[in-house]
Amino acid sequence: MVSCAILKWRVDSPAPSVDAVLSDKSAQMTPKELEESLKEDIEKAYDPREQAVDVLYALQRQHGHLSDEAMREASRLLGMTPLELDELATFYDFLYREPVGKYVIHVCDSVVCWMHGHQSVMDYIAERLGVGLGGTTPDGMFTLLPTCCLGYCDRAPAMLINGRVYGELTGEKIDRILQELREEEPPLALDR
Amino acid sequence: MPKLIIDDREIEVPEGTRVIEAAEHLGIMIPRFCYHPALGAAGACRVCAVKVIEGPVKGIQMSCMMEARDGMVVSTTDEEAMEFRRFVIELLMLNHPHDCPVCDEGGHCLLQDETVSGGHAHRRTSMKKRTYRDQDLGPFIRHEMNRCIHCYRCSRFYQDFAGGLDYGPLRLGDRTYFGRFTEGRLESPFAGNLIDVCPTGTLTDKPSRYSIRRWHGERGPSLCISCSLGCSTVANAYLRDLVRIEANYNESVNGFFICDRGRFGFYYAKHPERPRRARVDVSEAPTPEALREAAKRLARIAATHGPGAVACIGSTRSSLETMGALVRLCETSGWRKPVFFSDPAMQRKVRTAVSRIDKRLHVSLREIEKADFILAVGADPLNEAPMLALAMRQASRNEAAVAVIDSRPVVLPLDFERLAVARHDVEACLNVIMREAVSDEDLKIAIEKLPGGADGAASRAADFYTGIRNAGEGLPPEVRVRALKIAAQLKAAHRPIIVCGVDAVCETTPALAADHASILSGLKERAGIFYILPGANAFGAALLSSPIGEGASSFFEEIEKGEVKALVVVECDPLGQFPDRRRIEKALGNLELLVVLDYLPSETVKQAHIFVPTNTHYESGGCFVNQEGRAQFTPPVYAGGEPNRQETGGAHPPRVFRSHIPGGGPEPAWKLLAPLGAAPRGEAPELRGNLRSILDGLHPAFEQLADSPIPPVGERPSTYYARFLAEGALHVGSLAPQDCGALAFASSDAGEKAPGVGKDDERLEIILTEWTFGSEELSSYSPYILQAEAEKEPCACMQTEDASRLGISDGDLVALRSAGGGGLTVRIRVVENMARGCIILPRHGRLAWQDLEPSPVQASVERVKK
Amino acid sequence: MHPQVLLQNFKGNRSASIDEYRANGGYEALTRALLERTPAEVEQMVLAAGLRGRGGAGFPAGKKWSLIPEGAAHPRFVVVNADEMEPGTYKDRMVIHVDPHLIIEGVILTSYAVSAEKAYIFIRPSYESSALILERELEVARREGLLGQNILGSEFSLDIVVHRSAGRYICGEATALLNALMGKRPNPKQPPPYATEKGLWNLPTVVGNVETTACVAPIVRNAITGGSGEPAFTKLYCVSGKVKRPGCYELPMGTPLREIIEEAAGGLPEGSELKAVLPGGVSTRYMTPDLYDTPMDFDSLAKIGHRLGTGAIIVFDQHTCMVAATLNIIQFFARESCGWCTPCREGLPYIRDILTQIESGEGKDEMIPKLRRMSEHLWRTYCAFSPGAVSPLESLLTYFEDEVREHIRMKRCPFRK
């Protein structure tokens, strides 16, 4: 007899509605709206530097990646030099200084997913998309990258695409996901 | 004071000393990469590991991260510690290229030293080495990222120490890259120190690339004469070619660092056009002949028109020897007393400043770092004396409050409070701050402590403070609010320092600043005054100049009047460095004889009837007194001559024996001066003993110089951080107060009046000023300095409101015209952070600022149609 | 069924709402603490309960709070570390998803205890869903007067913001996290000064783990209402790897490893035999089957030279190549090293290369002492990252040296067909 609660967290069905999603908002805003909203956030922060990563995120969503121009824009908004921001942008995993596809597929390659065959997931996606690790599909839809443990080890192997995690991947499931992403804007960032 | 044992030897060190420093006191040099005395510990390289046998945390520890504690027992030779250090070196060498033969750091590379001393000689891995793409970091510094060992010294110096924000670490892990956002010149004027700070060949001196091994050259301690601070340097010469300047450690002046103007500004000494042969009229002549001819003609003019028809102009870049010899020459020949400053006002300002530095108020550059409040009055440190700005930054990092009262758009690598007021309001601001920061009670206490209270200074001071009760009335409200904030900071301070410039201030300001500093010194634990003077030896020049208060401009008037017929110009370029060029040109044209002695290929040299080449201080050495009165002897570094590279076009030195040095004609100016005079010629005394004989009786201050030791010529550094000049340095200090010193407390009425700038008046006051690069005389001959500032077009600054009133926008080309008919065309930068009613114009080599009359000068502004 | 404290409001596929949280006694601790108890008393309650930090180091939480010097400057900050990136660990996500208000109440109580004015929840990018849930529930709490000015009519005011990180393992290190929050490069910073004195913007700052923070409200409620349970002494164990039911289980602190794996996680799949276990994420040492009955708590593990870490149990079976597993782990660390100090920056890629050679059949016998030497020296680094990184390596060499040697002898990985 199992004498404890067996808990397993899944959000297969839509989780409680989430009203404000910065991610999608900033991509939809006009540059002017975005600038105003970022300025407001910077104003609210204890120190502008606190918002550095947030601003970089927002501009990345707006521009697709952090181009030199986007970096200069961030520098202007935050009053930090482009170099100071580049020190951060080049440090973090989820800030892209090079052009990426509309969807960035981060396949977890840490030890639990590794045990559950992350390599075959990676190979499968690479084959399906016809790109290697780090590559972007010619239509600009997908970029394939590795990432470290996503914290979904209970549902390994897992991958993360634009803020949403997909677990217990199989070839079939991957096909479905890629198909979905190609066809429609997915609902707000929820784990699947 | 903790007492500890390192390698079986006991040592007592001050509280807070780190173990790595304590070991150094014992002469034990624990390996280090990231630790640097000026930058502190980072704990990054892990190569300074030692074994702690007794102490709070035992075992292998980093000696840079650990403070020495009482009873600690440390071993640097413990097998485990040595094994760990070897391991770290091996790791660092995993990716380091074996390109030492073509690396400029080779031979003075810390990584080489530590690798050899650690015994790591065999590569044990077949791993591929990491490679990077290098960046073009501008004309000064060469980037070779593959050599980087990631000690973070560069970014810690550049960002933390120097406040630069355009170079730093990018990416992470073993991909960490030190560089810029995009390629381009490093913006900080202290960037050159990265060359010294980098323990490998990652950042090396670009101009001297592939031209010297440190042990090949003639290498010796020297001095920077590109501003009045007198930073210590090490000069390296090879095959008659001065190739590289490094910073030399001087614990009282520049510490470990120098600015880029000092590091890359020495090329005048090997300028291809440097005049190396004497000339009489249009034909070359041997130096003795030219001297004889000059002496003959000078004697004739003196005989015909009286000795008063001969005048001499020196400059503040000459050594004390040369200045002294010039004074003596004039004295013995009965000529007019020589001048060293461009105009009488400047001479008076510098003399006032010099007279006010006494034991109480004297502060060295290093002490600036320890101040907790700095008020810069009419000073633009980054442009006028760059290393001062770096020292102020260190104070600021230690939480000192910094404020600047100046008309110029002052930029500093630190946060500061700015009072951007017109030149004639600077004193009012200073008075408001002092009046507010010093209560009546404090004032009483301070006055009692004033030196010379007996001679009425006390009552003058009291009256003065009563008089400035309403000093702030004429000031704009926002300025007053800020002044009050600064006053509150000053009130709370324990170690305030007033920094005062003499260039862009009213004549009374230097004295006023010293007066206020005097009051503060009676109230605070320590208070000081720190002047910025015009030129490396302006202090010495002030001591040697006559109290009559003449300047070079006075002589030009005399020439116009026909009173002066012959002019001897010694290491000075009136045509290039003084305003009012047309008038000077005309005056020189009217002379019967112009004798010029110099080492620069200047305009004035070209005009000379008789020219005699002189030596730079790299070749002849000399004594220079910096702005705080510190006499520093700099020995000759090399014998001079035309660089082999120039003589042979870069080929191998010719394999022929010669008895002379090619292009080695020039001699030190002081040796050449005596033969010019009417006095019986003596044998030229040797340098070592000469200073006394030259300066004897010229000023009481020099008596101290008599027996001072001169460091041995050409000494090589025996340790990593050599300290020669610091020990050889001597503080000349206070000039006897009978001159013009003592507390002035002149009523501010004596100050200059505000030029009448009305709302509709289109005339603005022109304030001539310095730029870090491009305005200073010597460094302007450096192709690398020129290259560095080439991208920045010289421009004049104008306040936003003035600009909009006059309909001028940023980037406009304007014609400035003075009432006297002078003028020039210049591009305008519109700036918010500066005073209204004036235009800030750099004395830039690419601007014809000399076409204006001497300041104060006002000009109309008119936009030039394209 | 063991008592559930942190996960008591588990609602299947959705998060518990504020009403559901309240129905089980939620916000009672806060209401009463704010009105009836001083901050010092709250601090004392947590101290007395002996709550130890669940981020991995196990430092007593109440003690950490008390390190803020008397009369220290304001504003003060509380930072909740939800940058959970230790491979195998997902307990923070679980708590946030199950019961976001448990965290929110914990943050408010922590902030009250240390008189902080602002709190941050620092969250990793792959937990975007958690960030969204938190932001939504924070808004609910704000509407309910549980955040903002004069909370519940008391003198105490607080705002909580969610700060999204852009993803690096090192950000989970408290000092690196603070640097990250200040828009600096997230390099760790060795104390002194300690964060409690000079943390965020040089002001007093308390950094706490999500699970630790989640424990605060139950402890305070328990102390105020005089309840009898020992809420501080359950632990969230995340089980993953070769088990039938990978998941996050709330069990009494000190539950034996065997019970966690066999009973909670349903044991290993058919045909699998236990080979090794990482008890607390990849920065801990491999445990071998002979330690199967070890109680999983800080002290019991420390006694036998192991660490509880994050309590993330990763199970390996006999089909797993331990060299390859270790290589994977080292690869992770080599990629995530911040690059500050030499042994970590240069040593980990070096180890990675050697292990790659061994795994691909190019190994040599002399590599084993080399690896041993590395694993020893990599303890002497600037922060705890590298000592954690070499823990699996060191235990690989201790417990599975034969397997390593077999790779070298066979000139291939014996597990590869």
Question: Which are the contacts of B848, defined by CB distance < 8 A and separation ≥ 6?
Answer: B581, B824, B825
Same domain, B422 and B525: yes
Taking only the tens place, the pLDDT of each residue in B173-200 is 999 999 999 999 999 999 999 999 999 9
| Lookup result for tokens 């000079």 | C198
pLDDT digits (tens, 9 = 90+) for B254-288: 999 999 999 999 999 999 999 999 999 999 999 99
8 A C-beta contact, residue C160 and residue C119: yes
Which positions in chain B touch C385 (Cβ < 8 Å)? Answer: none
Does the CB of B175 have a partner CB in chain C at under 8 Å? yes
Report the residue of A69, A72, A86, A98 to disrupt the B interface, i.e. the one with the largest count of B CBs within 10 Å. Answer: A86
Contact B171 A91 (CB under 8 A): yes
Torsions phi, psi of B376, nearest 5?
-95, 120
Model-level ipTM above the cut of 0.90 = yes
* B43 with C335: Cβ contact below 8 A: no
pLDDT at B720: 24
Q: Residue B28: which CATH number?
A: 3.10.20.740
**C-alpha–C-alpha distance, residues B259 and B192, integer Å:** 7
Residue B45 within a domain: yes
Answer yes or no: do B518 and B445 share one domain: yes
Domains of chain C: 18-229 (3.40.50.11540), 233-317 (3.10.20.600), 322-410 (1.20.1440.230)
Which one-letter amino acid corresponds to residue B20? I
A108 and A160 within one domain: yes
Task: Examine the domain organization and report whether B217 and B365 are in the same domain.
Answer: no
**Pick from B363, B382, B479: nearest CA to B164:** B382
Of A12, A87, A95, the CB nearest to C166: A95
pLDDT above 60 for A189: no
Beta bridge partners of C160: C119
> Pairing mode, if any, of strands A164-166 and A159-161?
antiparallel
* Residue numbers of the domain that contains A114: 103-183
Highest mean pLDDT among B211-215, B682-686, C271-275: C271-275
- Whether residues C166 and A93 touch (CB distance < 8 A) is answered with yes
pLDDT in tens, B495-532: 999 999 999 999 999 999 999 999 999 999 999 999 99
Which chains would you list as touching A if contact means 3+ CB atom pairs under 8 Å? B, C
A96 is a domain residue:
no
- Please identify, among A60, A89, A118, the residue that sits at the C-terminal boundary of a domain: A89
| pLDDT confidence of residue C141 | 97
Give the CA diameter of chain C. 73
pLDDT digits (tens, 9 = 90+) for B692-740: 778 878 887 777 665 544 443 322 222 222 222 233 333 343 333 333 3
A12/C246 Cβ within 8 A:
no
Is position A80 within any domain? yes
Which residues on B lie below 8 Å from A71 (Cβ)? 181
Question: Are B149 and B76 members of one domain?
Answer: no
Does residue A18 lie within any of the structural domains? no
Q: How many CB pairs under 8 A join B and C?
A: 72
Domain boundary at B217, B251, B270, which? Answer: B270
User: What's the total number of domains in chain B?
Assistant: 4
CA C342, chain centre distance (Å)? 26
Domain-located, residue B66: yes
The count of residues in chain A is 192
In a domain, residue B697? The reply is no
- Distance, CA of C64 to CA of B642 (rounded, Å): 70
Q: Which chain A residues have any C-beta within 8 angstroms of a chain B C-beta?
A: 68, 71, 80-84, 86-87, 90-91
What is the model's pLDDT at position A68? 97
The pLDDT assigned to B598 comes to 97
B540, part of any domain: no
How many domains does chain A divide into?
Answer: 2
pLDDT at C228: 59
Say if residue B84 is in the same domain as residue B137. no
Residue type, B715: E
User: Which residues of chain C are within 8 Å of residue B124 when distances are taken between CB atoms?
Assistant: 370
Q: Are A77 and A49 found together in one domain?
A: yes
Q: Are C232 and C50 in contact (CB under 8 A)?
A: yes
Based on the fold, state whether residues B259 and B395 are members of the same structural domain. Answer: no
Closest among B322, B108, B306 to B212, alpha carbons compared: B108
To probe the interface with C, which of A11, A110, A116 has the most C CB atoms within 10 Å?
A: A110
Please report the pLDDT score of residue B355 as a whole number. Answer: 85
Q: Given pLDDT bands bounded at 50, 70 and 90, which one contains residue B758? A: very low
Domain-embedded: residue B704: no
Task: Give the model confidence (pLDDT) of B809-856 as tens digits.
Answer: 999 999 999 988 889 999 999 999 999 999 999 999 999 999 999 878
Residue A114 CA to residue A153 CA, distance in Å, equals: 10
Is residue A122 a part of any domain in this protein? yes
Domain around B517: 347-450+460-468+477-533
Which residues in C lie closer than 8 A to residue B149 (C-beta atoms)?
342
Q: What is chain B's mean pLDDT, rounded?
A: 89
Are A115 and A172 contained in the same domain?
A: yes
Instruction: For residue B636, give the DSSP letter.
Output: -
Say if residue B390 is in the same domain as residue B523: yes
Among B494, B509, B533, residue at a domain's last position = B533
| pLDDT recorded at residue B472 | 84
One-letter amino acid for residue B341 of the chain: F
| Chain C CB contacts of B87 below 8 Å | 343, 373, 377
Whether B171 contacts chain A with CB within 8 A: yes
Please state, in angstroms and rounded to a whole number, the distance separating the CA atoms of residues B798 and B812.
Answer: 11
Answer whether residue A11 is part of any domain: no
Asked if B372 and B264 sit in the same domain, the reply is no
**Statement to judge: residues B259 and B405 lie in one domain:** no
B690 band by pLDDT with thresholds 50, 70 and 90? low
User: If we measure between CA atoms, which residue out of B520, B530, B539 comes closest to residue B499?
Assistant: B530
Show the tokens assigned to C24: 């089980």
How many CB atoms are located within 10 Å of the residue A163 CB? 24
Asked if residues A181 and A131 have their Cβ atoms less than 8 Å apart, the reply is no
What digits encode the pLDDT tens for the residues A120-175? Answer: 999 999 999 999 999 999 999 999 999 999 999 999 999 999 988 999 999 999 99
The pLDDT assigned to A148 comes to 94
Q: What is the C-alpha to C-alpha distance for residues A143 and B205, in angstroms, rounded to an integer?
A: 42
- pLDDT value of residue B58: 95
Best of A83, A92, A148 to disrupt the B interface (most B CBs within 10 Å) is A83
- Regarding whether B393 and B505 lie in a shared domain, the answer is yes
CATH of the domain at A114: 3.40.30.10
Answer for the pair A52, A85: CB distance below 8 angstroms, yes or no: yes
Q: How far apart are CA C413 and CA B40, in angstroms?
A: 48
Task: State the first-to-last Cα distance of chain B, in angstroms, to the nearest integer.
Answer: 72
Cβ-defined contact of A83 to B169 (cutoff 8 Å): no
Helices (H) and strands (E) in chain C, counts: 17, 8
Report the pLDDT value the prediction gives residue C233, as an integer from 0 to 100. 76
Per-residue 3-state assignment (H helix, E strand, C coil) for B53-67 = EECCCCEEEECCCCE
Classify residue B158: in a domain, yes or no. yes
| Four-residue CA torsion sign, A57, A62, A65, A68 | negative
B772: domain CATH number?
Answer: 2.40.40.20
Q: What is the DSSP string of A74-95?
A: HHHHHT--HHHHHHHHTT-TT-
Per-residue pLDDT reduced to its tens digit, B67-89: 999 999 999 999 999 999 999 99
pLDDT at site C229: 54
Q: Which of B129-138, B674-683, C40-49 has the lowest mean pLDDT?
A: B674-683
Helices C100-114 and C39-49, axial angle in degrees (round to 10) = 120
The pLDDT tens digits for B582-608 are 999 999 999 999 999 999 999 999 999
From the list C57, C403, C8, C72, the residue with the least C-alpha distance to C217 is C8
Test the A interface: residue of B170, B175, B187 with most A CBs within 10 Å = B170
Using the 3D structure, point to which of B533, B553, B581 is the last residue of a domain.
B533
Beta bridge partners of C317: C274
User: How many whole angstroms separate alpha carbon B758 and alpha carbon B330?
Assistant: 48
Query: Rounded to the nearest 5 degrees, what angle is found at the Cα of B529, between the Cα atoms of B528 and B532?
Result: 145
Q: Which residue ranges of chain C lie beneath pLDDT 70?
A: 1, 227-232
Say whether pLDDT at A75 is over 80: yes
